[in-house]
Structure formats: structure tokens, C-alpha cells
A = this chain, B = another copy of it.
Amino acid sequence: MRFYLTYTEEVKQALAAKSPVVALETTIISHGMPYPQNVQMARDVEQIIRDNGAVPATIGIMNGKIKIGLNDGELQEFAERGEVEKVSRRDFSYILSSGKTGATTVAATMIAADLAGISVFATGGIGGVHRGAEDSMDISADLKELAQTNVAVVCAGVKSILDIGRTLEYLETQGVPVVGYQTDEFPSFYSRESGFSVDFRTDTPEEIARMLQIKWKLNLQGGAVIANPVPLAYAMNHDKMEEVILKALHQADEQHIAGKNITPFLLNSIKQLTAGKSVETNIALIKHNAEVAAKIAVAFMKQQPRAQMGFV
């Protein structure tokens, strides 16, 4: 297994020293945001993690290796996109065996983080149950991953275009804790409200770290959703955003956009319809998630360092 993992020097030393490390995904860079905002965001997020006492490990697959941490040129490569594939669990081994380069989704980043012994991961929003999935059965592999892989994911909810209520039902069936960080309400990505409750509210990184420690000591397999609302200054109005999203979905439908093209199309529509404000909010919430994730990682490693399987 070790053969497939490569580390930046910074991450390597942090793992060896059992210092806190926070995983980051590459799909958010390659598919989630336009260039050059994406690479700027990626660098800012890494710095925020360092400023909060942890080491960032941006994760992707390049030329048949799982990269735990990317150097500047590698980050640039994911940001400028081109041929980069999106890698979920089902694609993971093929992208490696074929020597391709792939940006890891939430599911694939969780897998890689777990292999490297990293327990905390910051992103924007996780995948979930798609609108209409009660008919289409289109449900993101991120949810199944959360049910089986021991990584906590700090996010501002599910990606904005998904079905929040059914995603929470699915997570309940699978036994995944949905933890509010300083909130009783599950946030809805661009907004702090959704009308749905979290399973339980926590107010400190230490509480979350303690829960994770016990969860994994008892072999309760799987991760946790740490729901962290977008900072108030950047939060958008919930009802207006729901309108915007419905309009974007309607446009996609009218123009017969489907498959891999749908997410970039919707993100662009939403950007247009909000006069660019959605991208600002998106960046703000990711930065906030990075900060909270770093604090949780610090608390977690203070309480008891996990054996780092991939590295040592």
C-alpha cells in the first residue's frame, strides 16, 4: 500500500511527528470554481490551516500515485484543469492502475486521507441525495463513504443543488453523525438556515474531537459530517438562494444539460444569477471550514494521536 502514497515534505514530517494534519480535496479546485480563483482559494485555504496550527494535505491522484499534499506546480496543474478526471470510489483503483491524473471527490479524498492516517478533512459541501432521487436513485457515493471510512468532514452542508431532507434521512439510516458546530440548524451551503436540524449541536472543537475518539475506539466504522454554517457576513438569504437554484435547475433542464456537464453549468448559472456573489460566499465558507477543521485536528491529536497507517 505504501508504494502508492507519496507525500510532500511538510506533510511527511507532520505525520511522522503525529502533528495535526487536515486533508483537502482537488475536485473543488478542478471542477468547483473557475481559474484563477480556484488556485488562489486553494493556497489561501492551505495557509489558514497552517495559521491554525495544522498542516494542510491537498489530495489528488497523479500519474498513478496518491498525492498526500501537493507542491505549487501540482496545485497549478489541477487548477488549470484540462483533462483531469473526477475520481470517486469506483474510479479510484482504475485511475491509479492506468497511471492517469484525477481530482479526488469527497469520497475519494476520504479514502486517501484514511490510508494516510489523516482524520479530519475540510471541504465546501458534500455530495448527497440528488433532487428527484426518490425516482432516479441518483445518490452520491460520498454518503456511502461517510458510512464506512473513518474521516470527519467539515462542510457548510451539502452541495447547494441537492436535496437536504432526503440526504439527512439517508445519513440517519447509515448511522452517520451529523454534528452542528455552533448551530442547531443544518446549514444550506450559501445560507445558514435550511429548516432541518442537526443531530446534535457542539460548541467547541474539543467536543467534536472527543466524540470522534470514542467513535473510532469503539470501532463504530465511518466518518462524521461536521456542519459549519457560512460566516454571517457572507451568508445569503435562504429563500432567495432556493429561488436562484430552482431557476438554474430549470435552465439546465430547458437546455438539456446532463451528466458531467450539469454541475459546472449550474454553478455558472448561480454565479450569473447572483452577480458573482455566490463565488465569494463559496470561498468564504471553504476558508471557514478550513479554520474549524484545523482546530478540530489540533484538539484530536492532543487527545490521543491515531496510528498513522499509511506513513509509518
Contact = CB atoms under 8 A, between A and B. Distances in A.
A115 B175 contact: no
A211 interface: yes
A90 B169 CA distance: 12
Interface in A108-156: 111, 115, 129, 134-141, 143-145, 147
A212 B97 CA distance: 9
B90 A176 contact: yes
A172 B143 CA distance: 11
A200 to B, nearest CB: 5
Interface stretch (A22-30, A216-224, A269-277): A216-224
Most buried by B among A89, A111, A178, A210: A89
Interface residues of A, number: 53
Most buried by B among A1, A98, A139, A172: A172
A166 B137 contact: yes
A214 B87 CA distance: 15
Interface string A190-226: 0000000001100000010011111101111000000
A227 to B, nearest CB: 13
A147 B141 CA distance: 11
Contacts of A177: 90-91, 93-94
Contacts of A139: 169, 173
Given A1-B217, A4-B214, A207-B98, A90 B172 contact: yes
Nearest to A211: B97
A74 B179 CA distance: 28
Contacts of A267: none
B220 A92 contact: yes
A214 B90 contact: no
A91 B200 contact: yes
A98 B170 CA distance: 25
A207 B97 contact: yes
A98 B209 CA distance: 11
Interface of A: 1, 4, 88-94, 96-98, 107, 111, 115, 129, 134-141, 143-145, 147, 166, 169-179, 199-200, 207, 210-215, 217-220
Given A88-B175, A134-B137, A138-B169, 10 more contacts: A4-B217, A89-B220, A90-B172, A92-B220, A111-B220, A139-B173, A140-B173, A144-B147, A144-B174, A144-B175
